[in-house]
Amino acid sequence: MRAPLRRRSLAWLGVIPFFLYAVGFLLYPSASLVAGAFQDEEGNLTLSLVRDLLTRGARQAFWTSIKISLVTAVLGGLFGLLMAHAAVSRGMPRWVRTVLTTFSGVAANFAGVPLAFAFVSTLGITGIVTQFLKDSVEIDLYGSGFSLYTFFGLSLVYLYFQIPLMILVITPALDGLRHEWQEAAANLGASPAQYWRHVALPVLLPSLLGAAVLLFGNSFGAYATAAALTSGQLPLVTVLIGQVKTGNVISDPHFGDALALGMVVILTVTMGLYALLQRRAARWQR
């Protein structure tokens, strides 16, 4: 009775370094955000910073961030699904799929500052495509209202890492769709549309929703791309935090903590949703 007990208590020791590290450099900093958000510069307890979250500027920043995350999660999810589905469909040669997933691995990691400048070189005011359209086809993008430095432009850039992420997470789920199901449905007289409506989509739905939540969080936390592209003209929460913390906006630095805490709350709710959907997805796949 004694020996197994002691061995078990020793086994626990093995994971202590990792837990200490996670507590020290992940949980503790997150917790000190809470402390920071409820204090003013003199260290007095205050609710004013949390109240500041409800001011117009902060509310607008959260709303813009949520909006761009929703838009790029839905569009990125849709295009990612279409491309992944095209690559795993039966007529496609195997190399198409290898190339697509490999490139997605690169593109999902190629983000932030270089991505922003790649799009400036392409669709900025003097960008190659902008110039080409103007000189050769006589389409003046910027004259007709397009700008890379707007909500629409930034969404276009975000899709460059959202679509590949979707391809990476949804390809395994698409592999789970068996060809026999499609054949069985066809034998029973179902059209391709009916097969999708009544068989494929219900099976895929939990994975699709889970992937969309992941994409939402992915774009909600993004800072570098927006900071480099719009130099803070587009008010996202992350950009606002950056401005407060680098002193580009005159404000109590503790306000940055309150904004960051607000982000954690929203992302925690999102992640909770994700966990819930994953559990349902697992149930379907059994």
Partner 1 sequence: MRRGSWRSALWLVLGAGYFLVPLLATAQFSLKVTRESYGLDAYRRILADPLFRESLLFSFRLAVYTIVLALALLVPTAYWVHLKLPRLRPAIEFLSVLPFVVPPIVLVVGLLRGFRWTPNWFYGGYLILVAGYVVLAFPYAYRALDAGLRALDIHTLTEAAQSLGANWTTVLLRVIIPNLRTALLSAAFLTLAIVMGEFTMGVLMQFTTFAVYINYVGETQATGAAALSLISFGITWLAMLGILLVGRRIGGRQVQIGGTH
For position 139 contacting partner 1 by CB under 8 A, the verdict is no
Under the binding rule (CB under 8 A), the answer on residue 26 touching partner 1 is yes
For residues 206 and 214, which CB has a smaller minimum distance to partner 1 in the complex?
214
Give the alpha-carbon dihedral of 189, 191, 193, 196, to 10 degrees.
40
Interface residue with partner 1, options 1, 44, 54, 91 (CB under 8 A): 91
- Selected range binding partner 1 among 59-67, 121-129, 138-146, 201-209, rule: CB under 8 A: 121-129
268 belongs to the binding site for partner 1 (CB under 8 A)? yes
Using rule CB under 8 A, residue 22 touches partner 1: yes
284 contacts partner 1 (rule: CB under 8 A): no
Nearer to partner 1, 32 or 194 (CB): 32
User: Quick one: which of 196, 203, 221, 252 contacts partner 1 (CB under 8 A)?
Assistant: 221
Among 77, 164, 210, 235, binds partner 1 (CB under 8 A): 164
| Minimal distance, residue 179 CB to partner 1, in Å | 12
181 lines the binding site for partner 1 (CB under 8 A): no
In whole angstroms, what separates CA 110 from the centre of its chain? 14
- Alpha-carbon Rg for the chain, nearest whole angstrom, is 24
- The pair phi, psi for residue 191, each rounded to 5°, is -80, 165
Please report whether residue 209 would count as binding partner 1 according to CB under 8 A: no
Dist CA 135 CA 120 (whole Å): 18
Q: How many CB atoms lie within 10 A of CB 218?
A: 20
**In sequence order, which ranges of the chain are alpha helices (DSSP H)?**
2-13, 16-22, 28-37, 48-52, 56-88, 94-109, 113-123, 128-132, 151-175, 179-187, 192-195, 201-220, 224-230, 237-245, 253-285
The SS3 call for residue 39 is strand
CA 81 to chain centre: 15
Q: Total residues at the site for partner 1 (CB under 8 A)? A: 92
DSSP track, 120-174:
HHHHSTT-HHHHHIIIII---TTTTT--TTSHHHHHHHHHHHHHHHHHHHHHHHH
Q: Residue type at 40?
A: D
Scan residues 225-264 and list those touching partner 1 (CB under 8 A).
Answer: 225, 227-228, 238, 241-242, 245-246, 256-257, 260, 263-264
- Select the residue interacting with partner 1 from 66, 190, 249, 271 (CB under 8 A): 271
Note whether 216 binds partner 1 by CB under 8 A: no
Site residues for partner 1, 27-86, by CB under 8 A, read: 28-33, 35-36, 79, 82-83, 85-86
Least distance from partner 1 to the Cβ atom of residue 12, Å: 7
**Of positions 96, 141, 177, 276, contacts partner 1 by CB under 8 A:** 96
176 lies in the binding site for partner 1 (CB under 8 A): no
Give the CA-trace dihedral at 232, 238, 243, 249, to 10 degrees.
90
